[in-house]
Amino acid sequence: MESIAVVTGASRGIGRAVAEAFAEAGHVVWALARTEEALQSLAEAHPGRVKPLLLDASNANSVVAAAKAVLQGGAPRVLVNNAGIALSAPLKRTSTEDYRRVMAVNVEAPFLLCRELMPAMADAGFGRVINVASTAALKGFTYTSAYCASKHALLGLTRALALEYARKHVTVNAVCPGWTDTDMLQRSVDTIVEATGRTAEQARAQLAGMNAMGTLIRPRDVAALCLFLASDAASAVTGAAYTMDGGEAV
């Protein structure tokens, strides 16, 4: 029987690295994202291993429809909730609409996918859910109230579902990367450059310097951690929050 993995936000960054890693490990990967062209390129790079599926993680109907489409192909063994958006703004400039969008993508979409897919995992007798959170799930950061709230909520969801499904052969864990070398980081670099007049190189160095190792996290390393959490070696690991942050949260 084919092992099916579902990865959201699979068109770029951590999500693409995770989708590629699972495809290369022999899984059939449902790759969910908004950008059709990027999904097609991913599928073409892994023929027969990647099934592209459009998903608007900010839209509950789109999320539920995607879950139902996945289930038509059978119960997945792995769900990686990676799709996420960040918002950097002072509290007084964080609109209600911005807050709701961040919560919809970062919390509601994972909740809905878990609700739709985890019962099928339990019925099949095996499941691994991996929620890609952030060090913002473990600590606060200035000017990121909505983002920090969403990632703290995602970690709470992880822990609650880990307990609920502990005796159903489905584990639920969170991965908490620090600053990772993705498009999201580039947007933060652009913000720093605009606000301070520093060069892009100086801005990247500032972000890397926020952890003890002075380095940015590589998407492929996050993907490797997800592979471990999906493996038999992690069968007794559930409700955990794995940091990969160069010592940032120590």
Which residue, among 165, 8, 153, 142, has the nearest Cα to 87 in the 3D structure? 142
The answer to whether residue 147 is catalytic is yes
220 Cβ partners below 8 Å, 6+ apart? Answer: 17, 21
- Which of the residues 99, 143, 147, 242 is marked catalytic? 147
Which residue, among 127, 113, 11, 128, has the nearest Cα to 68 in the 3D structure? 113
37 Cβ partners below 8 Å, 6+ apart? Answer: none
CA 26 to chain CA mean position, Å: 20
Q: What angle do CA 170, 30, 222 make, to 5 degrees?
A: 65
Phi, psi of 200 (to 5 degrees): -60, -40
Which residues belong to the active site?
A: 147
